[in-house]
Chains A and B, each alone.
Chain A
Amino acid sequence: MNKDRFSIIGQPLPKIDAWAKVVGETKFADDLVMSRMAHGKLLRSPHAHALIKRIDTTRARALPGVYAVITGHDLPRVKFGILPVSQDEEALCVEKVRMVGDAVAAVAAVDEETAERATELIEVEYEPLRSLMSIEDSLAHPEVRIHEYGDRPNVHKAVSLQFGDVEAAFAAADLVREDVFYFEGNTHLPMEQHSALAQWGADGKLTLWSSTQTPHYVHRLLSRILDVPPAHIRVVAAPVGGGFGGKLDPFAHEIAACRLSQLTGRPVKFTLTREEVFYVHRGRHPVLMWIKTGFKNDGAITGMHFRSWLDGGAYGSYGVASTFYTGALQTVTYKIPVYKFEGARVFTNKPPCGPKRGHGTPQPRFAMECQIDKAAEQLGLDPADMRRRNLAEPFVKTANHLTVTTIGLGECIDRVVEASGWREKRGHLPPGKGIGIACSSYLTGAGTAIYWNDMPHSGVVVRADRSGLVAVLCGATDIGQGSDSILAYLVAEVLGIEPKDIRVHPADTDLTPVDLGSYSSRVTLMAGNAAIQAAERLREKIFAAVAQKLEAQADQLAVGERRVFVRDDPERGVSFPEAVVLAESMWGVLAFPGSYAPPRRAGKYKGGGVGPSPCYSYSACVVEVDVDRQTGLVTATEVWIAHDVGRALNPLLVEGQVEGSIYMGLGEALMEEQVFRKGVHKIPSLLEYKSPTTLETPEIHTILVESDDPEGPFGAKEAGQGPLLPVIPAVANAVYDAVGVRIDETPITPEKVTKAMDSKRQGKPARVGPERLPVFRFPEARVVESAFGHPAEDIAVRPFASAPHPLPRGERVRGGGAS
């Protein structure tokens, strides 16, 4: 890899906000304090499903220290939701509550204690309805409707897509396997609880500071919910203390803060308790899955048919997208010539599920990678070799019309196999110890916005002035992943200066160009490309001015070490600040925009908007486990992961993302359960909702593979979500290698392991997993021709692109990066 052409890119630099975070200087939303600020508190429903007969706030309003109390009647009666197709939420429920934790009233008071006391004085009369707490319950009781809309009673969405003739593919197979899996729901568990501060100014304009991953979507929705023109609303995303998808929707506390500020004339702040964060949720969907795959004797896949049932919880949220995502990315890792997908999302009276790291794809990945492991055993193949031999081809389309560019998965498999000692260990470890492998792929940014438009997905303004300052303004939100730092590195690289010379101003809808938000692993690629474009436009003006001064040609100039100089005669040059003065003198104010929108590649079928991405990251993971044969406790002892990140803009940050993904994946594999009892979350606390600690985090060996993708900024692909995906099936496969039992559902708890080992001893199937599927008829499949193997369209065509690219970018060979 041609690393020496970069000065900043590829360096293991600390994040630009590392020092502030370490010393406690960073101001998260809850750290914001304003004079005359009131404290807010929500009253939430204690019923899983009930009609609201009456709300009386008289006693709460009479409590000294209470400034205002509102109910849904004090807000415009408009339902909202993050997706245009699922407008089913109210900030404060008026007629009906659909889960324990639904908000029904809000208080602003002199302090949090008073606000809380006031919520206890609000009288709400409920008429309880039957609560539906599982997919089976909801399908069995269509007469009890949670929502009035949906494809069928209590069925939010049912979809069916078919790409080619799967029945013919099964007929041509040497082995056809049908397997059933269940993936338990789990939650994001960010360290920072959601917090928001609203100030409705005397000028009639509203400002909201919030711990949100999507200030732009919150901005749009606040306008609609509060019936205020968006031009009069400003949303600022405070630095977010962990998102993982949990801060992607507009929330009741944000809306209540705005309205209460308007009514009281005071800034109003809400910070949720940990328990409330469990109710707000939008986390991993519990998914029941059936997967049927045809294999040839050499392990080649002839076709796949996949069904998923998602337990959606009480509201739509991103659920329609989640449903499609459970079927979207199976085709991206291995050659699957024909493919059929059927999925259904069912409403239940539980906190709504939504996007969590890997959005809708870890569940099918678990099913698919465990099934491949089973098939490999039946076919007498090594699971790593079987995967290696059937890799998808780069720069072609998949059966479901996704365009894939570079694929570094082959190298990923080779490297983890070698590093882990796979060949020596597999099948040869002492009793109770085992090793497993799995692979995966993930989006580098969703190819479509959540609302239809022709505008950029990401915008950046780079500004410079005579002080030598370079400011980067971008709507993207740093949720700890380091997006602010990435913007600084990219602009520093283009301008030949240091990250410290740059200030990044993120996520303020008044000051920064729109970025859609920190989700779908899109920011590095989309905001990054926009930042490069903006910085190159600035550099072009600087070169013109410096060329005049030095009596050289602009195209002979180069940047580096805070100077602008003649490439072949580096002594001839000026310092960067001098260069900016020359440019400002020649051109006036220096402020340049960059815009990015992904190439338009969505498949021409309904649902084709979910899955396309500029490019896909790839990961291969080997996990070694130690299973206690008496207690069933599984300990992951060592993890090797190779991740095709396209290019590591900063390897330190990429490794951080990979390690965080492993840790989170191990929690999902072994411990985490969003479970309910008597209609309420059983364990809504950091103590009893079991998530691993540092003590449970094993030695992790991260290997970065660089495939230099032509779509990415300097070749980079995503790193924040993909590495989570293979961990979970790799653990399950390792448990099988260790003790010979299949745990076909997450989490792999000690009870399940001991139960499966008992079955094995008794000669019964050595498996714990779902035993039956719901009776459910999917809609007639929309049959579309498989696009498997079709060549990719020209990769350069995308809106707002600068052409030709002025920076020398190395040789790009089609197929480069594929191994």
Chain B
Amino acid sequence: MMRLPPFQYLAPVSVADAVKLMADHGPEAMLVAGGTDLYPNMKRRQFEPTVLVGLRGVRDLAGVRRPGAGAVAIGAGTTLTAVARHPEVRARYAALATAAGAVSTPQLRNMGTLGGNVCVDTRCNYYNQSYQWRKAVNFCMKKDGEICLVAPGSPRCWAVSSSDTAPALWSLGASVRLAGPAGERTIPLSALYQDDGIQYLTKQPGDIVTEIVLPPSDGARSTYLKLRRRGSFDFPVLGVAATLHMDGPTVRQARIVLGAVASLPRESVEAGRLLVGERLTPEVIDRAADAAYRPAKPLDNTDLTHPYRKRMVRVYVARALRRLAGLPDEAEA
């Protein structure tokens, strides 16, 4: 079987200790919570940290709290299973409950955490391979190599953001609390990401995501649709999260965020803008779906072909909005 490389496991019991350990060990260290993404990646030598700072012993990181004014704060160490089942999350933030429940398999959702999924490594089928496999294709720039194998002329890495919960949280207007050597700060979740397959997070490696804060739901409707071949196990090859705030039958605010089409979750601002002030008619929905579809540029580095994935952006955005409007998935032919 595939074996882990040797490493030292440190088990702090507080966030402060974890921050200190990360600072002490510098770039040799990585954080690990559920380990469902990190350990397999280590077996394939995508990461070779000599020190792991484990967050499972930090009890404060798990659980849901209500900081006031209708907001909900979810500890980064809360398991995906717990998030998906949480009654308040299900009732008020349906996109998040659905997305958390759509990650991988039940077993991995029992181990994997919300913070881990928000920070999950970008993926590429030239990269998520064993060391020996990557050696056979001369490695890529994300690990051990010089060029991007999916876009060889490109100066950057095109690995794909593959989080289910990130697009959902983005559409819901969530923010994240970070703890680092300089103290704590809260940033919009959308500011956590940047469009680079290697440096896909804006935070410093020693910063710990401690909490995800959801604003008051305010009666908003939200949903998340995931394209994948199987009903379980698979990472998204397209995710569509949509959150709508309504004034009666009219859209007051709309946020549509795509997952797995770039190295970060990508908000389709234009699609959202086209919905504001409109009723959710099939025509309006089609216009918004078209606006979301045009700029999407998936590359050939996941399951299913990229022209197909692009084509599905329109279908899935339309479906997400139709579901929120109470319309059937497909117009009668």
Contacts and interface: CB of A to CB of B under 8 A. Distances in A.
A367 B129 CA distance: 35
A695 B135 contact: no
B330 A688 contact: no
A271 B128 CA distance: 22
B312 interface: yes
Contact of B230 (A100, A631, A693): A693
Interface in B115-130: 125, 128-130
Given A44-B132, A682-B125, A695 B232 contact: yes
B13 interface: no
B60 interface: no
A687 B108 CA distance: 13
B231 A695 contact: yes
A273 B2 CA distance: 6
A112 B330 contact: no
B182 interface: no
Contacts of B6: 113
B157 to A, nearest CB: 18
Contacts of A695: 230-232
B3 A112 contact: yes
A566 B180 CA distance: 89
Given A46-B136, A273-B1, A275-B133, A688 B125 contact: yes
Main secondary structure of the interface of A (DSSP, over half): loop
A275 B128 CA distance: 12
A431 B229 contact: no
Contacts of B133: 275, 680-681, 684
Contacts of B9: none
A46 B135 contact: yes
Contacts of A630: 315, 319, 329-330
A629 B1 contact: no
A679 B305 CA distance: 19
Interface in A669-727: 671, 678-685, 687-688, 690, 692-693, 695-696
A100 to B, nearest CB: 5
B111 to A, nearest CB: 16
A275 B333 contact: no
A44 B136 CA distance: 10
A671 B125 contact: no
Contacts of B315: 630-631
A754 interface: yes
A664 to B, nearest CB: 15
Nearest to A633: B229
A692 B230 contact: yes
A631 B232 contact: no
Nearest to A278: B133
A45 to B, nearest CB: 8
A188 interface: no
Interface string A730-757: 0000000000000000000111001000
A695 B105 CA distance: 11
Contacts of A271: 1
A750 B233 contact: no
Interface string A618-629: 000000000011
A693 B303 contact: no
A271 B3 CA distance: 12
Contact of A751 (B1, B2, B3, B305): B305
A754 B132 contact: no
A193 B304 contact: no
A643 interface: no
Interface in A100-140: 100, 112-113, 116
Interface in B304-333: 304-305, 307-308, 311-312, 315, 319, 329-330, 333
B3 A693 contact: no
A116 to B, nearest CB: 6
A537 interface: no
Contacts of A685: 128-129
Given A275-B133, A693-B232, A116 B3 contact: yes
A696 B330 CA distance: 22
B305 A47 contact: no
A271 B2 CA distance: 10
A193 B1 contact: yes
A682 B305 CA distance: 13
Contact of A47 (B1, B136, B304): B136
A690 B311 contact: no
B333 to A, nearest CB: 6
- Among B136, B303, B329, B333: residue with most chain A CB under 10 A: B136
A193 B232 CA distance: 22
B136 A629 contact: no
B231 A696 contact: yes
B69 interface: no
B125 A431 contact: no
A271 B311 CA distance: 43
A686 to B, nearest CB: 8
A431 B328 CA distance: 14
B78 to A, nearest CB: 24
Given A630-B330, A695-B230, A688 B304 contact: no
B268 to A, nearest CB: 19
A501 B201 CA distance: 65
Contacts of A678: 136-137, 149
B31 to A, nearest CB: 23
Contacts of A193: 1
A629 B330 contact: yes
B229 A273 contact: no
A631 B312 contact: yes
B118 to A, nearest CB: 21
A690 B230 contact: yes
A671 B229 contact: yes
A275 B2 CA distance: 9
Nearest to B228: A690
B308 A750 contact: yes
A681 B129 CA distance: 11
B48 interface: no
Interface string A78-106: 00000000000000000000001000000
B233 A46 contact: no
A690 B232 contact: no
Given A275-B130, A631-B315, A680-B133, A696 B125 contact: no
Nearest to A686: B233
A669 B5 CA distance: 39
B308 A754 contact: yes
A274 B2 CA distance: 9
A549 B304 CA distance: 75
Contact of A113 (B3, B129, B132, B233): B3
B290 interface: no
A696 B137 contact: no
B196 interface: no
Contacts of A690: 229-230, 234, 303
Interface string A245-289: 000000000000000000000000001011100000000000000
A679 B232 CA distance: 30
Nearest to B230: A693
Nearest to A670: B229
Contact of A112 (B1, B128, B135, B149): B1
Contacts of A631: 227, 312, 315
21 contacts: A274-B2, A275-B132, A629-B333, A630-B315, A630-B329, A631-B227, A678-B136, A678-B149, A679-B136, A679-B137, A683-B303, A685-B128, A687-B233, A687-B235, A688-B303, A690-B303, A692-B230, A695-B230, A750-B308, A751-B304, A754-B311
Nearest 7 A/B pairs, CB to CB: A695-B231, A46-B136, A751-B308, A630-B315, A680-B136, A113-B3, A690-B229
Given A273-B1, A681-B133, 8 more contacts: A273-B130, A431-B333, A671-B229, A678-B137, A680-B133, A685-B128, A692-B230, A696-B230
